[in-house]
Amino acid sequence: MSANLKEIVAKYHNKKGTLIPILQEVQRAQGFLSRETIKTISELTDIKVAEIYGVATFYSMFRLKAQGKYTIRICKGTACHVSGAKTILEALKDTLNLGPDDDTTEDNLFTILEVACLGCCSLAPVIMIEDKTYGKLTSAKIPEIIDAFKKEVNHG
């Protein structure tokens, strides 16, 4: 058990309604909430593991597995959905060599997150890689976008 985890939980000792702040701080420190971490938080707080999982799976901000260095958000909102978001997702998975149930590349460089809306409906279908928006996409554009992004971060 990491001393860091004990320190985080200790800050909230005997305070009500602290599970979300604890989970947020632990995730910031560790990158995600592992099974072992959740079990330890349960032991330190006397909050049942099932309750912690309930909170961690209810809120989309929490991650239960390691994420890639860069996040690709794909919009699944109505405008993007009717404009072909599904084919964009398939192109992303093909380009990144991801299986149907995978969301993070083997090299931990990219994680794909499907989001309800990116607020760029006039650009549908849309993805965001980190804070950069790519719109009016076709599946054919995806490999060049990924290649360009990789070059940018390697030479930036």
pLDDT digits (tens, 9 = 90+) for 58-104: 987 888 988 899 999 999 999 999 999 999 999 999 999 999 989 99
What pTM value is reported for the model?
0.71
Q: Is the pLDDT of residue 11 over 70?
A: yes
In this structure, the answer to whether residues 144 and 98 fall within a common structural domain is yes
What is the reported pLDDT for 135? 97
| Kind and range of the H or E run holding 41 | helix 35-45
Residue 49 sits in the same domain as residue 74: no
Residue 64 in domain = no
Containing H/E element for 35? helix 35-45
Res 156 pLDDT > 70: no
Quick check: bond before 21 cis, omega within 30? no
CA 138 to chain centre: 23
pLDDT at 1 over 60: no
What is the residue-averaged pLDDT of the chain?
A: 93
Q: How many domains does the chain have?
A: 2
Q: Are residues 84 and 40 in the same domain?
A: no
Question: Are residues 53 and 98 located together in one domain of the fold?
Answer: no
Q: What CATH number should be reported for the domain holding residue 86?
A: 3.40.30.10
The pLDDT of residue 139 is 97
Tell whether 18 is covered by a domain. Answer: yes
Per-residue model confidence (pLDDT) at position 95: 97
Choose the most confident range, by mean pLDDT, from 1-5, 30-34, 38-42. 38-42
- Same domain, yes or no: 108 and 54: no
Q: Who's near 138: CB < 8 A, 6+ residues apart? A: 84, 88
pLDDT band at 141 (very low <50, low <70, confident <90, very high): very high
Domain that holds residue 149: 70-155
Cβ neighbours of 112 (radius 10 Å)? 19
Instruction: Based on the fold, state whether residues 113 and 150 are members of the same structural domain.
Output: yes
- 27: which residues sit within 8 A by CB, 6+ positions away? 33, 61, 62, 63
Question: Which of 33, 58, 83 corresponds to the end of one domain?
Answer: 58
Classify residue 97: in a domain, yes or no: yes
